[in-house]
Amino acid sequence: MAGKALRGFFERLGNQVTSGVWQLGFAARFFGYMLLHSGTALRRFSLTIREIYFSGVLSLIIILVSGLFVGMVLGLQGYHTLERYGSSEALGVLVALSLVRELGPVVAGLLFASRAGSAITAEIGLMKATEQLSGMEMMAVDPIKRVLAPRFLGGVISMPLLAAIFSIVGIYGGYFVGVGLLGVDQGSYWSQMQSMVDFHDDVLNGIIKSVVFGIVATWIAVFEGYDAVPTSEGVSRATTRTVVHTSLAVLGLDFVLTALMYGVS
């Protein structure tokens, strides 16, 4: 009896592992296929522009508002901590470095996943559930070219721009709180920032991060939608999975990228 239960347990475990590995392989093959067809999406750019509108322009409000508040909180917290050491002039450096290096790409990536990624998954999943995708295949239209590649490209283009906007709005939010409300010197806010923030080490690495997060977030969103079980429950599960997986991937990759860029030793 116990032997049978144990066997059942190992069978289920093995099944889960194989299906997980299979799905990863499928996702990788899907990624390659989509990259191949991003060229077609570039040629039919009007489709991609529509997707930039949905994933970029419509995410702008949440990015602007949260960027502003993150910057303001950084300014407030940073000021009170720095003031203890008598170096509140370094507030600009603190705000700019934390936003440009980490918070800009990461928080923008998380917001992008929940705002745009979930919408992409739900849309593609519903298209699959209502058999629009198979209808396209019937009409000899490749749904990957027509539906998925433009969404992928739109997300990849939008994400770095959103992260840059997030960082800039945050820096001005920190400026508003630090200089406007708490009385940090305006000149030292900017000049210390400019002397300490390096273009290559900080700004460029932040942009690289946001590009990577954009690719990963949209890839997961498009894949989960394409892979969804075509029922209403399946679509809802796929949407949840998109948000969870993207958040984990962004946070995990952030560590890996930071370790690669700035070193762990």
Binding residues (CB under 8 A) for another protein: these are: 46, 49-50, 52-53, 56-57, 60, 85-87, 96, 100, 157-158, 160-162, 164-165, 167-169, 171, 190, 193-199, 202-203, 206-207
Of 28 and 57, which has the nearer Cβ to another protein? 57
Contact between residue 109 and residue 116 where contact means Cβ atoms under 8 Å apart = no
Residue (of 171, 255, 261, 170) closest to 208 by Cα position: 261
Paired tokens of 121? 């998954």
Paired tokens of 128? 């699959």
If one counts every other C-beta atom within 10 angstroms of the C-beta of residue 142, the result is 14
Nearest approach, Cβ of 100 to another protein (angstroms)?
A: 7
Residue (of 14, 33, 68, 18) closest to 219 by Cα position: 33
Nearest approach, Cβ of 54 to another protein (angstroms)?
A: 9
Of 109 and 125, which has the nearer Cβ to another protein? 109
- Please, is 155 exposed, middle or buried when counting C-beta atoms within 10 Å of its C-beta (0-12, 13-18, 19+)? buried
If one counts every other C-beta atom within 10 angstroms of the C-beta of residue 246, the result is 26
Nearest approach, Cβ of 243 to another protein (angstroms)?
A: 23
Of 167 and 239, which has the nearer Cβ to another protein? 167
Of 99 and 113, which has the nearer Cβ to another protein? 99
Nearest approach, Cβ of 87 to another protein (angstroms)?
A: 7
Nearest approach, Cβ of 57 to another protein (angstroms)?
A: 5
Of 95 and 122, which has the nearer Cβ to another protein? 95
CA–CA separation, 192 and 207 (whole Å): 21
Paired tokens of 5? 């239960």
